[in-house]
Each structure stands twice: as structure tokens, then as C-alpha cells.
């Protein structure tokens, strides 16, 4: 840990400490069934499409995807004019396309009724009526209404960021002075660049021009105070540059609207020894870009690869590392089909009637294990995997090279999620972890209730306030240095745990009439349907609509 890094981060976080985490799995013979299973029921493998309301951006620079201690991914999208202007249109285009496919008997809905809920919600909110009035509204009013609808449809995931620049610039000024005269080290440069807007710059490499701009900022800091006009102007220009203009500075504040979703994840089925204890391994660490699959058993040459192995549920895999031969490490769905008769499942989960055919009970459950579970991939709830693919750009070329950030196993994601000046450790209310063998669940890692599960996940590194809210006692954080390298940078103490709400991503199962869904044309249909957007010229021939 460098003194500079500690000073920079302590502007938002105070304290220093070290912890030793409990490491042994907490065995549980059965799980609590007082709440519904946090997953997706189905009969057997069929294709599906996303039937939720997450926004989509066609701009690959607007995403931050980060895996961290606690086994969850923070997916943040910074909204711009295009995302706000096109959000409601995109919903209507998807609604129209789904209806056209159903009416033309190209697909038949099966298993569940998420499509009906999607369709009904759009009607209840009178989105089509509002979009029809667009020409009568000014841009500001239309965008504000669009974002409000986005927030209503995605509760707890849309955040209005409004951060005073005076404190940001004062903190940056102090960090620049603390760095001294030598800014030549890569670590110092990255720490200073990221400190101009903590948690939201996410720089892991800098251009020569940005390095020179940092040097100029240091010179201005020595020449005058944080409130000097020259320093403030330079800070504003630097912040705008390193955030690609996604954060707007106006009226003494940094303004943005962000969509942030916290996704529980499964990682490689292994543990690593660290100075913080024996922790779930993450596979690879550092920054890894989304990549096209050049090899595989399905259709290759795509980022949003569809495997012919039914265990992946015919839901896209997003690769970030070639693992040799036809194998890639990727973000993918839950990966394991849990029969409803799984021994430790509570009785309430074992007999659940189908929405579409109440006389027929579901046979299987997709239930992602938040913990060690894979050969090397990163697993997500099957619906949330569909959401991630939906939120990313429609076109394949725009997905290539999107960076994803993977911490060292001991490093937490500390983020001021709503911009209120109070950073928190990112977490999610999801308490499921189990051991699998041969793609079958065999026993739980831990109970599936909050405190017992957290005892397994965080060991003794968690405490609770009188109101039940949680605090992580000792909080190491990482920096990212170029590609494929993460390094522990600082340690802080007693940071509140942010616990995002969890719900399975809404997907709609279907059968396809013109061809087998497992055929080449069936796979092309599946992929093209997920790309549908008002800002993407869908290939109607692949959708059997031409």
C-alpha cells in the first residue's frame, strides 16, 4: 500500500486495519423455505428472451463491470442523451417485435408469463401514448420523464449523481501535493487520475497527454489553492477527459444518471490463501476485455456466443479469456440445473405449479451459487445474464473490447453508489451457495439465510448495527494496472455494507416453429432477437419475418 493511495482513498473512507477471515464451509442439512426460491423454474431446456426493463446503450464506453470480494458483480451504465432519448422507443420496438413473432406463429410462449407482465406494464404506464407526444415536448422534459419511467420499471437501480466539485477539487489538490515532485510511477499516476472522481474514473492506463495533464495539475496545485480559477479549470478539463465526457460539470456539481445493478456471481471452484484468510478464487484478475469466440461447438466469430450444450440454457456467454482449444472463460448463466428434488431444498420449493399450465409442476430450478462453483467462468443468475447481454450494445463489433474488472479475491468494491459522499462495500441480498459435482448440486456451502450465510461469506469480518445493518470491518481495495494485473493498494476499516435487492432477471421461455431452436438458424434467431432495439437494424430474415 502506498501512502499516496491511502491519502487519496481516505478522503472518502477513514481508518486502517487488518482481518483474518473464517474459512471453513458452514454446512447446512436443509435450507429455509419461508421465502420463494431466488431463481428461475422450468421444465427442461428451451430458448428464452429477455422480458425486463433494463436500459441498453450502444456506446461501449459507458459500462463498468466489476467482480469483487463477496462474489458479486457491479454493473454500472452511465446514461447519456442517447440512452435517455431512446429508452422508451426501445421498449416499444421490443414489444412490437415480440407481438409480431407471436401473431405470426413464429414463436409460442411456454413455461412462464414474463412476457405478459412486460406487455401489461408497458400498457399500464401508457408508454406508447407518451412517446406519441414527443414532438410537443422539449428535450429536458422528455428525458426527465423517460428516466423517471426507467426508475419506476427498475426500482433501486437508477441513481441521480450530484457531487459538489468544491470538495472533489480540494481532495484532488491535497492528493497532488502529497504525491510530491515525482509523478513518474505508473501506480502514482493511476491513483491520481482515479482520485479526481473516486470510483468513477476507473483508469488502468493513461495516454501521454493525460500523464502530461497530471503533471500540469500538480504544478498548479503547488502554485495556488484548490479554489484558484486555474486549478479548478484544469481539474474540470481533466475530469471530463478521463471520464470521456460522461460526467457533466454544471453549477458547481458533477452530474450524471447511472443505472447500477449488483449481480451475485459464482466463480472458480477453488480457494486461495491470502493474508486475509482462505478465500474463494476468482480465476483471473485484472482487466479482461470481452472477446469474440474464434473456436467453439456453436456459431463462432461472435462475442454473444450461444453454446450447443443445453446446460448453458441457450443464453449467451460473454467470453473474456481463451482457455485453450474450444474452451473460453466467460460470463454465463447459472450453469447447473437443480432438480426440485434436490435433497437440501425446502419442501416449499419442491412443488411449484407452472404459470402457464397450473396442472403441471416445474421439474428444475436455475439457482446460481454465489461462491466457488465453476471450472473458471463467472456464473450469473440465468435471467440476470440475459439482462447483462441486453444492456450491452446490440452489434457484435461494439461489444468487442469492453473491459471487465476482476479484483484480487480479498479486495472489495468500495463505491459511493448514490453520490451522497458515503462510500459503501458493494453487496447483494442473495444467500445461496452450494457445492456441485459433475454439474449437479450435492450439498450446500452454507445456510440460505442472511446472517448464517454472511458468516460463511465474510467470516468474522462483518458486524451488525442495532438496526441490523451490516459493516465490513477491514476492507482491502485493489488498483488495476494495465491489462490482467490487479494489486492490493490500501486497507480501510468499518465500511457499511450496501445490500442491493435481488430478484431473478425476467426471461420468457418459448418454442420456435420454423426450425429447431438447436439448429444453426434457430441459434441465429435466438441471438438476433436479443439484439432488437430502435437503434439497431435487425435482420428480419433471421427472425423469419421476411
Name every residue whose Cβ is closer than 8 Å to that of residue 123 and which is 6 or more positions away in sequence: none
What the block records as the C-alpha cell of 500 is 442491493
| Cα 12 from Cα 5, distance rounded (Å) | 12
Q: Is 223 exposed, middle or buried (0-12, 13-18, 19+ CB in 10 A)?
A: exposed
- pLDDT number for residue 11: 42
Name every residue whose Cβ is closer than 8 Å to that of residue 247 and which is 6 or more positions away in sequence: 78, 161, 197, 200, 239, 240, 254, 255, 256
- pLDDT number for residue 20: 32
Q: What is the pLDDT of residues 96-118, one digit of tens each?
A: 999 999 999 999 999 999 999 99
- pLDDT number for residue 27: 53
Q: What is the pLDDT of residues 474-489, one digit of tens each?
A: 999 999 999 999 999 9
- pLDDT number for residue 24: 44
| Cα 268 from Cα 334, distance rounded (Å) | 13
| Cα 463 from Cα 494, distance rounded (Å) | 9
**pLDDT < 50: residue spans in the chain:** 1-4, 6-26
Q: Is 33 exposed, middle or buried (0-12, 13-18, 19+ CB in 10 A)?
A: middle
Amino acid at each position: 500500500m502506498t501512502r499516496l493511495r491511502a491519502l487519496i482513498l481516505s478522503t472518502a473512507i477513514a481508518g486502517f486495519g487488518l482481518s483474518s477471515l473464517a474459512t471453513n464451509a458452514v454446512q447446512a442439512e436443509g435450507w429455509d423455505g419461508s421465502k420463494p426460491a431466488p431463481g428461475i423454474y422450468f421444465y427442461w431446456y428451451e430458448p428464452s428472451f429477455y422480458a425486463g426493463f433494463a436500459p441498453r446503450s450502444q456506446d461501449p464506453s459507458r459500462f463498468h463491470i466489476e467482480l469483487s470480494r463477496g462474489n458479486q458483480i457491479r454493473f454500472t451504465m452511465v446514461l447519456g442523451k442517447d440512452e435517455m432519448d431512446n429508452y422508451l422507443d426501445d421498449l416499444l420496438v421490443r414489444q412490437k417485435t415480440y407481438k409480431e413473432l407471436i401473431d405470426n406463429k413464429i414463436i409460442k410462449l411456454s413455461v412462464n408469463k414474463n412476457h405478459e407482465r412486460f406487455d401489461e406494464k408497458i400498457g399500464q404506464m401508457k408508454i406508447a401514448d407518451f412517446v406519441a407526444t414527443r414532438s410537443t415536448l422539449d428535450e429536458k422534459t422528455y428525458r426527465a420523464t423517460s428516466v423517471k419511467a426507467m426508475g419506476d420499471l427498475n426500482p433501486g437501480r437508477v441513481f441521480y449523481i450530484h457531487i459538489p466539485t468544491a470538495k472533489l477539487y480540494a481532495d484532488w489538490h491535497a492528493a497532488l501535493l502529497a504525491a510530491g515532485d515525482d509523478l513518474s510511477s505508473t501506480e502514482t499516476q493511476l491513483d491520481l487520475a482515479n482520485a479526481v472522481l473516486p470510483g468513477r474514473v476507473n483508469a488502468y492506463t493513461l495516454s501521454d497527454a493525460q500523464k502530461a495533464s497530471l503533471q500540469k495539475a500538480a504544478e498548479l496545485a503547488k502554485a495556488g489553492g484548490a479554489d484558484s480559477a486555474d486549478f479548478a479549470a484544469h481539474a474540470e478539463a481533466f475530469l471530463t477527459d478521463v471520464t470521456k465526457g460522461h460526467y457533466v460539470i454544471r453549477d458547481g456539481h458533477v452530474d450524471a444518471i447511472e443505472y447500477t445493478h449488483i449481480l451475485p456471481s459464482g466463480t472458480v471452484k477453488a480457494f486461495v490463501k491470502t493474508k486475509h484468510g482462505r478465500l474463494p478464487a476468482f480465476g483471473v484478475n485484472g482487466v479482461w476485455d470481452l472477446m469474440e469466440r474464434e473456436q467453439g461447438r456453436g456459431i463462432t466469430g461472435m462475442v454473444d456466443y450461444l453454446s450447443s450444450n443445453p446446460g448453458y440454457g441457450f443464453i449467451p456467454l460473454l467470453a473474456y479469456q481463451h482457455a485453450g482449444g474450444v474452451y473460453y472463460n466467460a460470463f454465463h448463466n447459472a450453469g447447473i440445473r437443480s432438480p426440485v428434488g434436490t435433497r437440501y431444498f425446502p419442501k416449499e420449493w419442491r412443488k411449484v405449479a407452472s404459470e402457464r399450465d397450473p396442472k403441471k409442476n416445474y421439474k428444475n430450478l436455475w439457482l446460481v451459487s454465489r461462491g466457488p462453483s465453476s471450472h473458471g467462468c463467472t456464473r450469473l443468475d440465468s435471467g440476470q445474464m440475459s439482462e447483462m447481454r441486453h444492456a450491452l450494445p446490440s452489434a457484435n463489433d461494439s461489444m468487442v473490447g469492453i473491459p471487465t474488472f476482476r479484483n484480487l479475491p480479498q479486495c472489495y468494491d468500495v463505491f459511493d453508489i448514490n453520490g451522497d459522499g458515503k462510500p459503501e462495500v458493494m453487496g447483494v441480498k442473495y444467500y445461496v451457495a452450494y457445492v456441485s459435482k459433475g454439474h449437479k448440486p450435492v450439498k450446500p456451502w452454507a445456510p440460505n439465510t442472511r446472517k448464517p450465510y454472511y458468516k460463511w461469506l465474510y467470516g468474522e469480518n462483518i458486524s451488525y448495527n442495532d438496526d441490523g445493518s451490516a459493516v465490513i470491518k477491514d476492507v482491502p481495495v485493489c488498483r488495476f494496472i494495465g491489462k490482467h494485473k490487479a494489486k492490493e493498494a490500501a486497507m480501510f476499516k468499518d465500511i457499511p455494507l450496501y445490500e442491493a435487492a435481488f430478484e431473478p432477471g425476467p426471461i420468457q421461455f418459448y418454442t420456435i416453429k420454423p426450425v429447431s431452436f438447436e439448429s444453426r438458424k434457430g441459434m441465429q434467431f435466438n441471438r438476433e432477437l436479443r439484439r432488437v432495439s430502435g437503434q439497431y437494424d435487425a435482420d428480419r430474415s433471421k427472425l423469419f419475418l421476411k
